[in-house]
Structure 1
């Protein structure tokens, strides 16, 4: 483990038996999470969060053999990126364009408002900056999958990634239950309720579960609005990459400045070189590419569906890998403030969402 708390994978770790064993553990946990997610209440949490919790639980109860950790880390790093790329097959950019400007507006306004609100609350609560960003992005965009995609951009540790993902998913489960109970009293049509849930709930699984009372029409609109938010993962990731790169260059320049003018000049040259690099991680570019392929319809629908299933399996294996690297003491010490910030931000997002639905005449 390096100083940031993230594991590094070395060539010496790749002993086939132990390496394959580590991957097998994450696969077993991911499959178990998938079937657990079919149960009524657990289904609201979703496969990804259940995989994290299973990993944390297994480590706490039985421990994880050290020789298998190379495979576990491989799942948490490499398979994560592969899963994010394949997840792009869920997105049809044409459907989002056809949804109309009002639907795009409500998704964008809610997303931007929630990002700034949750991050502001996180900083007010004196949370670590990276964990605050993960909580804000996960709440605003698409839960655990977003946390996993953003984490490499801001160089978050495994602990921060797991805590952020679990936090937004647990909050989403709570709000899903609340929405379902309050639906008859909201005064919204089926379509209005579907737009509201898609614009304000955290995970795709939450949106699907909460939209069931609104029937087919409400469910279809809910998923469409939710996927519009998912599409916004790409620009958010790029912007965060630019901000993080600029921040690192400033810190680097300050360190060089303290060592003298000559080093400062060298730092400026290096900073200029770094500044020419566009922070587009290959897996985010891959996500966008797969979305484009799905939009063009060049892949049969059944194959696209199978690729999405595989994407969630790989992401669940990655989440299980992260969970297996988390100590419960670390999780409990880091988890309280993100829950507070995420909860308050989610309440504000819900209030804004229902207000926008009425204001834009979508109720």
Structure 2
């Protein structure tokens, strides 16, 4: 009999978990309190990046995920989620910064990332500001449309037999041995399960608590600006070298670093900000002004362009800035897949494959659980990162 799996969360990570578990022959039900991709996924830019990750567990997962995004494109059609293998360009504003960037890139290259040092950045991005001393191009960086990606993966899961159930998960149903038998929703429905995947994004900590397996997943607010549609002006995902440091920072205060990229519709997305303010969704115009000013310094033509909107959301992060992926030893049957911070979209396919491999007890789609023990939830227990 097929293993019954409930995936809590219909964002891109949950959809990827559903896609891979269903394709492995499991009996899958996705449960979410709202529509597909309506949470953090709908607030992202769609980054599929290797360029911002230092050698280690996250980069290893990102390299696997980059391959799996291509495989998903082959199966589902790349146009179904606007997969763009555009490449990334990281630029430095000073010669000292350029030296540091290239040292970082050399360590990434040793870990298997393709890099291309660029001395004349305006040769490949003509609208950049003059005077930039150089950068590094990352040809493997790509882009997807996040909500389309979640929807496409979930449609693929449904073709393999998965189901979608609308409802907020309020607790676990357990047997006498303490193992999960399913989940209960706010409407009183019981969805039976042999395993429950916690892919609830920013709410992963709360869902873990409701399942009896809390993990410390915290929100970090971020803003993204959207311009009016334009002819193609920005060819790559372009960002300043300090973005990498901001991603890894644990500071609670506001941090901004310039990220600029075009979309198939012609709009340009501008980010990125990060601040720990809980679930405060206030529209902060000072942050918007700061991001806009940084973008105009990088691409001066933007000073003449209109913004049409700004949106914000919450990145779900763990204290050590690594996602938590794998079975929870405290509650047999609970498998976590959350805490990806701003990398959830890029890491989604490999997360889904790794969750599937954990449930199967063997490698799946080239992802071996034994190679990713640094992402298991028990690392947080030792550091005191799990609330009681």
TM-score range, shorter chain: under 0.3
User: TM-score with structure 1 length normalisation?
Assistant: 0.26
Greater length-normalized contact order (CA 8 Å, ≥ 6 residues apart): 1
Q: Larger % of strand: which?
A: 2
Higher helix share: 1
